Amino acid sequence: MDIQALKDKLLFNNAQYNFEKIEKAYRYAQEAHSGQRRNSGEEYINHPLEVASILAELEMDDSTIIAALLHDVAEDTEQTLDNIRKVFGSEVADLVDGVTKLGKIEYKSKMEVQVENLRKMFLAMAKDIRVVLIKLADRLHNMRTLKYQSEKKQKEISQETLEIYAPLANRLGIFRIKWELEDLAFRFLNTQEYYDLVEGIALKRKERQDQINEVIEILKVKLEEVGIEADIAGRPKNFYSIYKKMVNQNKDLSEIFDLTAIRVVVETVNDCYGSLGIIHTLWKPIPGRFKDYIAMPKPNMYQSLHTTLISNHGEPFEIQIRTWEMHRTAEYGIAAHWKYKEGKKDENNFEQKLSWLRQLLEWQHDSRDAGEFMESLKLDLFADTVFVFTPKGDVVELPADSCPIDFAYRVHTDVGHGCIGAKINGRIVTLDTKLKNGDIIEILTTKNPAGPSRDWVCLVKTSQAKNRIRQWFRKEKREENILRGRDGLEKEARKMGMEPASALKNENIQKLAKSFNFNGNEDLYATLGDGAITFKRALGRLKDEILKEEVEINYLQKGEQRPPSKSSHGVRVKGVDNILVRFSRCCNPLPGDDIVGFITRGRGVSVHRRDCNELFGMTSEEQERLVEVEWEKNIDSVYPVDIEIIGMDRARFVTDIMNVIMETRTHMLAMNARVGKDHVSHVNLKIEARNLEHLNFVLQKIRRIKDVTVVERIQSGGSN
């Protein structure tokens, strides 16, 4: 192959080429590769010439042909690329750069998902679809000369060709390249099967060739009669597709009928249907085997009429009918559409072409302006996506601008939480570094991670990472909240005069949690700790609805008679009999209250609630005079208690309180009610309580009155 052969090929295309620039590129490449030889022993320049020649057959434009000639020049040196930019301009340089970068992708993984991702990455990195076409042509020539490589290389490259390049050619609709790539790869991978098949098919074809020729002759005459100009030929199907069919359908070669298809190429769509009509009068069509891909093009925009018929010898054969334009599309795929960029704009077909391109966009999972895409013919299909590698060579697809943290969480939640740093292509980077296509990412973790950092939420792009980070903080905070809730509830209960050990026993907390529709105690504590439910509200409900049950039962069981009059104080001083006992006025202890005695000078023992204000701030000498006292059982006394009620003032506010006093058969000693400027009502009561149970029962009833906000037992003389 020489430059003249390439030029002849280009001249054959009806297009204007800048031959001067093409020759300049040839000389530039020739000089750069001078002294280099291919494994075959021939001059290296032959390879880029062949690649350019394949692209010439696809009728590609100047820049593509020039870039093809230069595609291996820039392999290693940046400087050369800059120079190419200077000499040939940015368009060519960008194409060469794209091809060089694609050459650096390594294919390590064999997983199906990974392979699909690799194909995507291939397109993503290519940016310009012409880069992919150059790469396909490059691969095709390398496959054609693969026999000069070692056997190991042959297998590796063939595998890669079958998994990456042939499917890409298929997606781009370039069947001519797809078939050749497949058959070459097949030959190197399954050599024996390949040659067996070739031989078998050759024999079968020979048998059938006469029949095929007969069909072609009859058809030619008939079509001529009706004035349809047609090119009719028998087309052997590619070996790999026959082989795949045999393997997939578990069939013997003798069971495969459509080894050869007869292809009829005509001028117009009308001629297609006209030919079909004639064909169906000549031979009997097999029902269900007719396919109209003209009315319903395949996703890659393939169009043709397919019909299977029974020959005069009773054997089935397939005929494909299409126009020349459809034929071009079938052979060259996206490359065929290239021409329409500058050339004539066939408005009727434009929509169809767009739909074909939309099919490509389907890879991207969201639709994008196909017209715009057509306009630039840039492969920005994956502008929103970045493909990177794990150290093992698996491809990970992430949104553009993702950072190593996104990658870490994609690998595993624990890797994300444990992430303390990252390496990209072996170098340590900051965690906010944006990932680029083809980067190899390694996440550095620690055994005892401190967990994610709060600013990570702003760094990451994936919702997955965002959610996991938030979850982590929610969980961590939850544990703190549970502790805070548990402690707080206990403190608040004490303040409200409840004994945590009994009031907050597990059974009660469970009931309380249930009443708030929580699944368990921890949820309740967490919510309390978070402040979403106040301790007051929770304890109020605990008293009203849970403790009330107990109290009410106890109280009602004890009879409803009016409490007996005060006959004894009901307090015994431990270890002392017949001692004068009196109650302090400051805190008015009730049976059930935790109490303590104080030995006065000459006035016996005064009894205080253990939490009485008077007891705080005692000197150590005074503290020594404290004695243990206890309530006697079966006390028959009543004790004065001060209560304060605060609430929003309204009509009948005080009446409602009085009703509770009466309902609970409580004796009232004094009452003082006043309303402030802010419409807050303060009601102070002094009542006679028989014991703590009785008092709590009354307090709960009052607490449930509408508009009551606070009900408290206070020390006498006002609020404490």
Give residues in contact with Mn ion (CB under 5 A): 72, 138
In the chain, the amino acid numbered 716 is S
Shortest distance in whole angstroms from residue 153 CB to Mn ion: 15
Shortest distance in whole angstroms from residue 450 CB to Mn ion: 50
Pick the closer one to Mn ion by CB: 99 or 370.
99
Pick the closer one to Mn ion by CB: 141 or 337.
141
- Alpha-carbon radius of gyration of the chain: 46
Burial class (CB in 10 A: 0-12, 13-18, 19+), 1: middle
Buried b (16+ CB within 10 A) or exposed e, 625-658: ebbebebeeebebbbbbbbbbbbebeeebbebbe
What phi and psi values does residue 446 have, to the nearest 5 degrees? -125, 155
d(CA 631, CA 574) in angstroms, rounded, equals 10
Shortest distance in whole angstroms from residue 139 CB to Mn ion: 8
The residues facing 322 across adjacent strands are: 265
Shortest distance in whole angstroms from residue 79 CB to Mn ion: 20
Q: Is 259:226 a contact under the CB 8 Å cutoff?
A: no
Shortest distance in whole angstroms from residue 234 CB to Mn ion: 34
What phi and psi values does residue 550 have, to the nearest 5 degrees? -65, -50
Pick the closer one to Mn ion by CB: 154 or 300.
154
Distances (CA, A) of 356 to 130, 339, 401: 17, 15, 29
DSSP calls for 614-667: GGTT--HHHHTTEE-EEEPSS----EEEEEEEEEE--TTHHHHHHHHHHHTTPE
Pick the closer one to Mn ion by CB: 47 or 703.
47
d(CA 422, CA 176) in angstroms, rounded, equals 45
Q: Alpha carbon 553 to chain centroid distance?
A: 56
Q: Is 462:410 a contact under the CB 8 Å cutoff?
A: yes
Token pair listed for 436: 């680029």
Reported for 535-542, long-range contacts at CB under 8 A and 24+ positions apart, including other chains, are 535/488, 535/489, 535/491, 535/492, 536/492, 538/489, 538/512, 539/489, 539/492, 539/493, 539/496, 539/498, 540/703, 541/512, 541/515, 541/516, 542/503, 542/504, 542/508, 542/512
Give the 3-state secondary structure of residue 36.
coil
Pick the closer one to Mn ion by CB: 161 or 481.
161
Token pair listed for 54: 């394949």
Pick the closer one to Mn ion by CB: 50 or 182.
50
Which residue, among 481, 536, 546, has the nearest Cα to 512 in the 3D structure?
546
Pick the closer one to Mn ion by CB: 67 or 386.
67
Q: Alpha carbon 130 to chain centroid distance?
A: 32
Shortest distance in whole angstroms from residue 70 CB to Mn ion: 10
What phi and psi values does residue 577 have, to the nearest 5 degrees? -110, 160
d(CA 103, CA 124) in angstroms, rounded, equals 14
Pick the closer one to Mn ion by CB: 69 or 509.
69
Pick the closer one to Mn ion by CB: 138 or 656.
138
Shortest distance in whole angstroms from residue 211 CB to Mn ion: 43
Q: What kind and span of H or E run contains 419?
A: strand 419-424
Q: Is 400:386 a contact under the CB 8 Å cutoff?
A: yes
Pick the closer one to Mn ion by CB: 138 or 183.
138
Catalytic option among 23, 43, 57, 75: 75
Pick the closer one to Mn ion by CB: 47 or 548.
47
Burial class (CB in 10 A: 0-12, 13-18, 19+), 462: middle
Buried b (16+ CB within 10 A) or exposed e, 354-383: bebbebbbeebeeeeebeebeeeeebebbe
Shortest distance in whole angstroms from residue 29 CB to Mn ion: 11
Shortest distance in whole angstroms from residue 174 CB to Mn ion: 18
Buried b (16+ CB within 10 A) or exposed e, 395-431: bbbbeeebbbbbbbbbbebebbbbbeebbbeeeebeb
Token pair listed for 513: 């949690």
Catalytic option among 31, 42, 76, 224: 76
Shortest distance in whole angstroms from residue 138 CB to Mn ion: 4
Q: Is 67:130 a contact under the CB 8 Å cutoff?
A: yes
The helix-helix angle for 62-70 and 129-144 (nearest 10°) equals 50
183 catalytically annotated: no
Shortest distance in whole angstroms from residue 31 CB to Mn ion: 17
Shortest distance in whole angstroms from residue 25 CB to Mn ion: 15
Q: Cβ-closest residue to Mn ion?
A: 138
Output DSSP code: residue 672.
E
225 catalytically annotated: no
Give the 3-state secondary structure of residue 166.
helix
Residue 64 CB contacts under 8 Å (≥ 6 apart), including other chains:
55, 95, 130, 133, 134
Q: Is 21:299 a contact under the CB 8 Å cutoff?
A: no
Pick the closer one to Mn ion by CB: 55 or 259.
55
Pick the closer one to Mn ion by CB: 72 or 183.
72
Shortest distance in whole angstroms from residue 137 CB to Mn ion: 9
Q: Give me the active site residues, please.
A: 75-76
